[in-house]
Structure 1
Amino acid sequence: MSGDATIEPRRGRVALAVALTAGLLLLCCGGGVSVFFLGGLFDEDTDVYGYNCGGGAMVDPRAAKLPRAGQLGDEQMRNAAIIVQVGQQMKVPPRGWVIAVATAMQESRLINVGNLGARNDHDSLGLFQQRPSQGWGTAEQIMDPQYSSRKFYEKLLTIQGWERQALTVAAQRVQRSAYPDAYAQHEPTASLTVNVLTNGGARAAGGAVDLRCVSAGEISASGWTAPVRGKIVSGFRTAGRPTHHGVDIAADKRTQIHAAAAGTVVRMRCDARLNGVSISCDRDGSPQVKGCGWFVDILHAGAVVTRYCHMIQQPAVRLGQSVAAGEVIGLSGSSGNSSGPHVHFEVHLDGDRSSNGAVNPENFMRDAGAPLGEGTS
């Protein structure tokens, strides 16, 4: 198992930023409490207890009081509720709800915007800034949040493989925006908004009315999946290994390793040193070897970075490559600091790939609806 899986401290250049400062209690699919630092996303009126994987909770935008997420106001939450309700009525999988809410956050701040006169972007209107001149409907129709939401979903459902695409890619295929990369920054808050409206729907898989926790190999509505299924054989910063900044997941040699979410490969290299001298990663390592062996770092929405260590050969991805959630990025092995085949997996926040940015992957992945370990969530 990995005894020296850390990489020299280095801060990546991050294009996306999310406030990740204060503590927040979230509940996983199984109901256990974990502390995860996401920062100020709930206000004092939000009841975070009892969240699971959706449980088929149907959204009612007409409710006297809706829960709130982050800094979103009542009007924004009501419009988000309409978007989710339409998705439920159309039996769109919950991943679509997250994409739709994030898109509306970027396009209109979840405000049903009318014609802004000189400040208007051509004839763009409504939650999704759809344009009558481009065939989305009449101005009156587009200003109806239910109509505009339905039109968004209708277009989304025509895109082959949209469920596994990065949110930015799927949203851009619908919207054709001049700023396509901007959608991704809203994915964490959109996932949270869906969670509070549907009792955990962004941590779910399945259909619109039969939400369930994800099974092995599935992608949660928030866009996350376990990189590999196997027993966790060494935990995060345990008493015996306080500098172990990830978890070790048992996996036979040449087990496929999957990208935990859509993102961009920001590092791919061999890191193996014996007595201070670099050695090949195309061989088994040992407890005496230092480093991650063949490893990959992926930057995801919200400035989250994941790391995958000890691959048996050069990874199947290249630097700068965009990967989809669940895409195979390499094969498990025992290169670098390792006493047997496994995958060392790390999660870092704020784009900080040093040990300072590392958080417990078990907590993070459970809250994202893609718990690590064997079997289902």
Structure 2
Amino acid sequence: MGGVGLASSMQGWFTQQQEAPPASDCGGGQLQVHDASAVKADGFTATQVANATAIVRTGQQMQVPPRGWVIAVATAMQESNLHNLANPGVPSSMALPHEGSGRDHDSVGLFQQRPSPPEGAGSWGTVQDLMTPATSARKFYDALQRVSGWQSLSLTQAAQRVQRSAFPGAYAKHEPRAAALVGAVSGGADLAGQQPGQCAAPAEVTAGGWVRPVSGEVGSPFGPRGGRLHAGVDLMASRRTPIRAASSGTVIKAVCDASTARTVGTCDRDGSPSAAGCGWFVDIQHAAGIITRYCHMTQRPAVSAGEHVAAGQQIGIVGSSGHSSGPHLHFEVHLNNDRSPQGAVNPVPFMREHGAALGA
């Protein structure tokens, strides 16, 4: 998820936050990490905030995109609970000031990295290096940036490629709080998803791992229409515009809507206002019980049920199949694993709060 702009979904997590710039504001302002002592986060101690600040500051100095800051903080949350841990297995002669003892007999620091000696594969550096938050963060970022396509991977996949943990699925649960904490210590710099002076491209992955599915004006809005809920928004885009997965996840449906097949007979030609259903459409299951839906594709989707997709991966192309009067993407967001209209939320504020504002 995004950062300090998550006021509606993260309300109560922070007792003090700075105002984040609008997600659509990608002007050239300098990014700034706040003084850790000025950030108060519910559920985090001053020590944890200071360590997260060191991780984010190092990422900024290395010009790592904000998505990397969230991955790094979430990884440290899993590995050390954001504490700089020593270890009983480290010789006392090598002991340094620390914030507790870890569980892994040969690993230390925020990321529980293995020091040398021994030299060779799996060694990250000296104990002193790895017990220095900025240095251990730099080593994590160095390894992360060697992972091909890391910005489009899910947080768990990216973290696991670096850490090679025995519990590879454990990182995902930290993503929402890590993203919110990164937003707080960075003053909302994570929402732009950019370095100073750059604007986000339509398929650029934000710090929280989200992407605009298409770049197009918002047409018909979310809300009641004709006695029923229009459970998403219509994004106006030309026929055959690529449609991209809004975040990483697993495809749970990629089919011709049964209602369209019943009223039109096929999804392989344009529908009409008298037709029913989504036409060719895709549903994707994301972390935290979020589901996104993409309707009215012009041909069979480029993905299949059960397939994992990366954020920004093309899943189909814009068309006008089903209940449609012209080419566009109907885009929905559902919470609590509820694909029914009862689970639908307005995609416009949702995507804005996740740093990927909809629009041209």
TM-score range, shorter chain: 0.7 to 0.9
TM-score for the superposition, normalised by structure 1: 0.82
Query: How many angstroms does 1:172 deviate by?
Result: 1.1
Q: 1:335 aligns with which of 321, 330, 334?
A: 321
**SS of the residue 1:148 aligns to:** helix
1:217–1:326 contact (8 Å) kept in structure 2: yes
Query: How many angstroms does 1:72 deviate by?
Result: 2.2
**SS of the residue 2:50 aligns to:** helix
1:171 and 1:41 map into 2 onto residues whose CA distance is 28
Q: 2:40 aligns with which of 59, 62, 67?
A: 67
Q: 1:58 aligns with which of 19, 32, 40?
A: 32
Letter of the 1:49 counterpart: E
Q: What are the Cα deviations for residues 290-331 of structure 1, in whole angstroms up to 9, with x where unaligned?
A: 211111111222222111011111100011111111111001
1:41 and 1:212 map into 2 onto residues whose CA distance is 32
2:260–2:278 contact (8 Å) kept in structure 1: no
Q: Quick one: higher RCO (CA 8 Å, sep 6+), 1 or 2?
A: 1
Partner of 2:207: 221
Partner of 1:42: 13
Letter of the 1:83 counterpart: I
1:157 maps to 2:145: yes
1:326 maps to 2:297: no
Q: 2:86 aligns with which of 108, 111, 114?
A: 114
Query: How many angstroms does 1:369 deviate by?
Result: 1.3
Letter of the 1:217 counterpart: A
Letter of the 1:130 counterpart: Q
What's the RMSD between the two structures over aligned residues? 2.6
2:33–2:187 contact (8 Å) kept in structure 1: no
Change (3 A) 1:64 1:71: closer
Partner of 1:127: 110
Alignment of structure 1 residues 266-285 onto 2, 5 Å:
266-273=252-259, 279-285=265-271
Letter of the 1:199 counterpart: G
Q: What are the Cα deviations for residues 45-91 of structure 1, in whole angstroms up to 9, with x where unaligned?
A: 22253444694332255x433232x5222221111101001111222
TM-score for the superposition, normalised by structure 2: 0.86
2:4 and 2:38 map into 1 onto residues whose CA distance is 21
Q: What are the Cα deviations for residues 270-307 of structure 1, in whole angstroms up to 9, with x where unaligned?
A: 11426966832112122222211111111222222111
2:139 and 2:11 map into 1 onto residues whose CA distance is 32
Any unmatched runs of 5+ in structure 2? 90-100
Partner of 1:366: 352
Partner of 1:261: 247
- Which of the pair is proportionally richer in strand? 1
2:4–2:180 contact (8 Å) kept in structure 1: no
2:4–2:183 contact (8 Å) kept in structure 1: no
1:144 and 1:124 map into 2 onto residues whose CA distance is 13
2:292 and 2:148 map into 1 onto residues whose CA distance is 27
**SS of the residue 1:273 aligns to:** helix
1:206 maps to 2:176: no
Letter of the 1:110 counterpart: L
Letter of the 1:106 counterpart: Q
2:260 and 2:33 map into 1 onto residues whose CA distance is 58
Change (3 A) 1:320 1:356: same
Any unmatched runs of 5+ in structure 1? 1-17, 19-24, 29-34
1:272–1:280 contact (8 Å) kept in structure 2: no
Larger C-alpha radius of gyration, 1 or 2? 2
1:119 and 1:220 map into 2 onto residues whose CA distance is 32
2:205 and 2:295 map into 1 onto residues whose CA distance is 21
